[in-house]
Structure 1
C-alpha cells in the first residue's frame, strides 16, 4: 500500500461516517492507483490506497483480527524488505490465523511483540494500528523518514494520513498558517523533524512511534544513531561500505518488480545503478536508467561550484559502460512551468518550483516502464559530498554550514512580523537545538567532533528536503522510488567513519574506493555535481514577474506580510544581476524567490487562512 488514512474519536460514534474517510483516501488516488479500502468501527476508521509493485505478499489491504467485541486492525504504506524473515517468525510462533499478505504478517508481528514490533521492520514505511482491546492508536514511521505521515490531534481524537491534503479534507481540520512557521516556509531546510507550516498539523518524525489514547499522546524514538570509535582500516572500511550498499540494493530489488534507476553519471547514482545492473543481469534482466537535461543548457548553462557541468553526457557514458537502456528527458521551460501546479498538488505544502517540476517530469517518464525504481540520493549527506564540507571558514561559523551568506527571505517580512518571528534568533535556536541532539563520542578530537556535528546538521532539514521531494514527486505518478543509501545499517556504519577516511582522495573518496571496479573512469574522475536546475532567463523572468506582483499588488494575499520597499529592493538587485552571494543549495539569485511564489500559490490554492 502506498497511502494510508485514519480517524479515531474516543468519545463519539463515527461508525456511520465512512464517507469522510473515503474522501480522505480519495485525495491520494495517484499515490495508490491499484486498490482502495476503508474499515470502520464505532470509534475508529482506517483506510488505504494501494500500489501493486509485484512484491511478495501482494499490494494487500488492511488486516484485522477479532478478539470478542474488540478488533485489532492494521494498515501500512511502503515496502517491507524483510517480509520473508517476518513470515518465518510468524510461522515458527505457530499462529493458526492466515498470515500471507504484508499487513497480515505485520499484524501478527504486532500481536507477538506489542509496540516494539516496529523495531523488527526493515523498509521504507508508515504503519497504523488500532488496538480495540486497549482503545489505542499506534502510528510509526521508518527510521530515515522515507515515507510521510501527517496527523492532527484534537480534544477527542486524531486524524492522520500520508498527505496533508488528505488530513485537511476532514471537516474537523482547518488549514491555518502558523505564524511561527514562517522561517521554515521561506527556508524549508531549517525545518525541525515533525514541523509543518499549519496550525495543529504535525508530521511524524523519522523513527517516531506515536501512541494515542483518550487520556493523551505519547511519543518515543525507536531508533537513533550511536557514536563509537571506528577501528577498521581504510581498505576494510571501503570493503564493508561496498558490502552494505550491495546488500541494500539487493534487498530493495527483491521486493518489487525491478525496473529503473536514476543515473546522472555521478558516483552516487552510478554506484547504485551499477549494483542493480549487475544483480539484474544475473537473472537475465536489463536495467532502464534515466537522466534529465534542459533544452536551455546549450545556450544558458554556466558552471558553478555545485554544478560544474551538465549531467547528460556523463550519464550516457555511464549507461553505455554499465549496459543499461538509457533514457534522457529534455525539459523546456514551458514543460517546467506547466508541471508546477501538479507538483503543488502532490505536496499539499509549499513546493520548490522548477526543482520539483524536473523531478516530477522524469518520474512521469519512468512510470511508463517501471513501478519500482532506485536513486542514489542521500549519499552526499552521509559521505560529505557538498563543497561546504571542505571549507574551513564555513565549518567554523556558529550556524548552519550549508546556509550560505546570501539574503534570507524571512528578513524581508514586515517589521511587525519580524518582531514576532525574530528571524536571527529563530535560526540560532534551531541550530543550537540540533547541536544539543548530536550523539557525542567522549574524548573525540575537537576537529572530528565538529565534523560529526556538521554531518548531523546536514542529516536534519537538508536531507528531509531531498527525500520529501523524491517521495512526493514519484508517488504523484504511482512510482515507488527507493533509496539504498538510506539503509539504516549503512547509515549507522558511516556515522562513525571519520571524516579523514570519508574524504581520503577527495570528495567521497571512500565511496569511489569501495565501488572503483564497477565505475567508469569518467564517473570516478568527475567533480561533484548536484541535481540539476534550469538556468534560463525565461524562468527567472517568470519568477521575478510573479514576485513583483506578490509584493506590490493590493490583491495579493501576501502583500501585507512583507516590507514592500525592502523586498522591491531585493528584486531589483536580482534583476540587475548585482547579487553574487552564496545561497543554500547553490541556487541562482532569482531562485531565492521560489519560496515566496510557492507560498502565495499554496495559500490561495488550498484556502489557507492567514494569522
Structure 2
C-alpha cells in the first residue's frame, strides 16, 4: 500500500519544478512511511511514498523499464493478489524479473498487455504509468474502488494523486468548493467521479484514464453486468465458501505482521474464522482487534440500529478460533479530542462522519503499533444484502436510494442555514442522482418485478453506497500507515453473488443467507444467529457534552456560521446531553467537522 502522485505538462519543462513535485509527494507520507521516490522528466513527474508489504527491499518506486522505444515508468498503490500466477505467465512469455515484488509484475504486465492490463489483475490498486514511448499517462483504478485516485485537468496536461491533498499541493490547483461539491457532501449518494473540490474528479472504479497531447479519455474496463445464475442452493453456498476461502488465503499474503478486524458480527467473524484456519496451517496464531467504549457493555441500551452490544460475540469468536485478541477501548475524551478530529479531516480532505470516523482512526492507530496489514469484513452487507432496508418494501419501492428512504424522517442537513439549504436543493439533486443510478443497471429479460427491483437495489449499493465506506476506511487506515484489505470486494465474489437471485440470497428467511451458511463451519452458533448490528457508536452522553463545549468555544464570526443555522445550533447547545437525540448529536458532529475543515483548508466557497 502506498501513495502516488504526479504532474504531466506538455508545454513546460517540469525539471525546473522539482520542488513542487516533492511537495506533492510529501503529502502522501502517511500512506507510505517506509520510503519515498520521485522521477522527473521534461513533461512528466511521478512521486511515490511506500508502505512496504511484499518484497521489502525490492519494491522501490518509481519503477522504470528501459525499452528500445523509450522508458516506461510505474507508480503503484495497492496489492495484486494474483501476482504469483501473473509472474509465471509473464515469465513464460519471455519476461525476466529482477525483484519478487508485485509492482514489477504490474509493470511488466503493462509492457505485455498495455491498457488491457487491468483485465488480468485481481486486487485493490490505483496506479499510474508514464509511457515515454508515446508521451502518454495511463491512470488505472481497481474494479470496486477500494484504492482512491484523483485527477485534475490543467491547461496543458493533468495533475493526479491518491488523495486530493497531493493535487492541492500544486499551485495550479485552486482550493475552491462550489454548490455541486457541497450537494454531494450532504446528500450521501456518491455521484460517480465526484470530488468535493471544484475541477477535480475521481478516477471511477473499473476505469482507465488516458492522457496525451490530444487530451483526456476514459474507458471502463469493468462494470456489473447481469448474467443468468443456474446453480442450485447447495452449489451456490459451496461456491461462495470456496471463493471466500481462496480470497482470504490470497489476502493473507504479506511479509509483515497481519491481523483481522473483529466486530462480533457475521461479516468480520467469517473472515476471522477463515483466516484463523489458514494461519493454523502455517502454525501461526491469528491476531484480532476490536473497538469498544468505556462502560458500553455494562450500560448498553438497545436502539433502532443495535439490539445488543458487540463484546459478548467478540469473545465467543476469539475463544473459538483461539486468536490473540485485543480490545481498543475509547472514552469520550479520546473520541472528542480536537487533534483527532483534525487528523481525520486531514486524512479525508473533507468533513466526514464525526465520532464514527474518529473511533475508526483511533482503532487503526492502535492496531498499527502491532500490525501492518488488517483484513476487514467491510462490504459484505452490500454484496449479500445485509442492511435492514434491503428487507423493507417501503424503502426498496420508495423511488429513491433505500438507505435514504429508510430514515426519510431524519434530516441530515437540519444544522444548515435556510439560505444554504435552498441553494443546494438536495431533494432535486438526490432525485437526479437516483434516476442516473437506476438507468445504469443492466437487467435480464424476463425478470420478475421483485427480482428486477432487488437487482437494482443491489446495484445501487455496489456502485454507490459501498464506495463511501471504502473511501472512509482507506483514508482512516492509511493516515496511520495501516493497510486494510477487504476480501468481500474480490470481483469474482461480487459478480457471482450479484447475479444470484434474491430468493437464494434470503433462502433461510434472513439477511445474508448465503454468507451465513457458507461460513457457519468457522463460526460460533451465537454469531451465526446474531441479528445485523452496524459499526458501533458510543452511547456515553459525555461525548455529546464535549461537542457542546467545543462548539460553544467557536468565535461567532467563524466561517462555519456562513453555513450553519444559528437558531438550530443554539437550541442544540441547550439540550441535555443525556436526553439528546442521535440526529442532534450527529448534527453537532457535522458542525465541528465543517469548522475544522474550514480552518485547516481555507477553501473558497462558491455558493
Q: C-alpha separation between the residues in 1 aligned to 2:272 and 2:362?
A: 20
Who is 1:609 aligned against?
604
Aligned-partner SS, 2:559: coil
Q: C-alpha separation between the residues in 2 aligned to 1:578 and 1:60?
A: 52
Who is 2:444 aligned against?
441
| Change beyond 3 A, Cα 1:350–1:180 | same
| Change beyond 3 A, Cα 1:299–1:588 | farther
Aligned-partner SS, 2:434: helix
Q: C-alpha separation between the residues in 1 aligned to 2:192 and 2:57?
A: 31
| Change beyond 3 A, Cα 1:154–1:326 | same
| Change beyond 3 A, Cα 1:347–1:512 | same
Who is 1:351 aligned against?
352
Who is 1:560 aligned against?
562
| Change beyond 3 A, Cα 1:397–1:211 | same
Who is 1:216 aligned against?
215
Q: Deviations over 1:96-138 (max 9, x none)?
A: 6746543332222112111111211111111101112222111
Q: Deviations over 1:487-527 (max 9, x none)?
A: 00000001011222112221222211111121111111111
| Greater Cα offset, 84-93 or 323-332 | 84-93
| Change beyond 3 A, Cα 1:450–1:222 | same
Cα displacement (A) at 1:6: 0.6
Q: Deviations over 1:438-483 (max 9, x none)?
A: 1212210011111111112222332112211211111112111101
Who is 2:544 aligned against?
540
Who is 2:593 aligned against?
598
Who is 2:147 aligned against?
147
Spell out the pairing of 1:119-518 with structure 2 (5 A cutoff).
119-187=119-187, 189-257=188-256, 259-298=258-297, 300-338=299-337, 339-403=340-404, 404-410=407-413, 413-505=416-508, 506-518=510-522
Cα displacement (A) at 1:54: 3.6
Cα displacement (A) at 1:484: 0.5
Normalised to the residue count of structure 2, the TM-score between the two structures is 0.94
Cα displacement (A) at 1:181: 2.0
Q: C-alpha separation between the residues in 1 aligned to 2:392 and 2:132?
A: 55
Cα displacement (A) at 1:344: 1.6
Who is 1:582 aligned against?
none
Q: CA RMSD in A?
A: 2.3
Who is 2:531 aligned against?
527
Cα displacement (A) at 1:214: 2.2
Asked whether the 8 Å contact 1:250–1:279 carries over to 2, the reply is yes
Q: C-alpha separation between the residues in 1 aligned to 2:532 and 2:583?
A: 18
**Structure 1 gap ranges (5+):** 580-586
Asked whether the 8 Å contact 2:336–2:547 carries over to 1, the reply is no
Q: C-alpha separation between the residues in 2 aligned to 1:33 and 1:179?
A: 36
Asked whether the 8 Å contact 2:59–2:104 carries over to 1, the reply is no
Aligned-partner SS, 1:108: helix
Asked whether the 8 Å contact 2:157–2:215 carries over to 1, the reply is no
Cα displacement (A) at 1:285: 0.5
Who is 2:12 aligned against?
12
Aligned-partner SS, 1:39: strand
Normalised to the residue count of structure 1, the TM-score between the two structures is 0.93
Aligned length: 601
Cα displacement (A) at 1:48: 0.5
Who is 1:584 aligned against?
none
Cα displacement (A) at 1:563: 4.6
Q: C-alpha separation between the residues in 2 aligned to 1:291 and 1:64?
A: 41
Asked whether the 8 Å contact 2:416–2:565 carries over to 1, the reply is yes
Asked whether the 8 Å contact 2:233–2:504 carries over to 1, the reply is yes
| Change beyond 3 A, Cα 1:23–1:524 | same
Q: Deviations over 1:174-221 (max 9, x none)?
A: 21112222222224x212121011111211111111011122110111
Q: C-alpha separation between the residues in 2 aligned to 1:588 and 1:318?
A: 33
Who is 1:90 aligned against?
90
Cα displacement (A) at 1:68: 5.9
Asked whether the 8 Å contact 1:296–1:535 carries over to 2, the reply is no
Cα displacement (A) at 1:152: 1.3
Spell out the pairing of 1:41-56 with structure 2 (5 A cutoff).
41-55=41-55
Who is 2:108 aligned against?
108
Aligned-partner SS, 1:370: coil
Q: C-alpha separation between the residues in 1 aligned to 2:54 and 2:397?
A: 49
Q: Deviations over 1:313-370 (max 9, x none)?
A: 2101110011111111110011112222221222222222211111112212221221
| Change beyond 3 A, Cα 1:316–1:81 | same
Cα displacement (A) at 1:258: 5.1
Spell out the pairing of 1:25-104 with structure 2 (5 A cutoff).
25-55=25-55, 58-67=58-67, 70-95=70-95, 98=98, 100-104=100-104
Asked whether the 8 Å contact 2:410–2:583 carries over to 1, the reply is no
| Greater Cα offset, 16-25 or 568-577 | 568-577
| Change beyond 3 A, Cα 1:302–1:603 | same
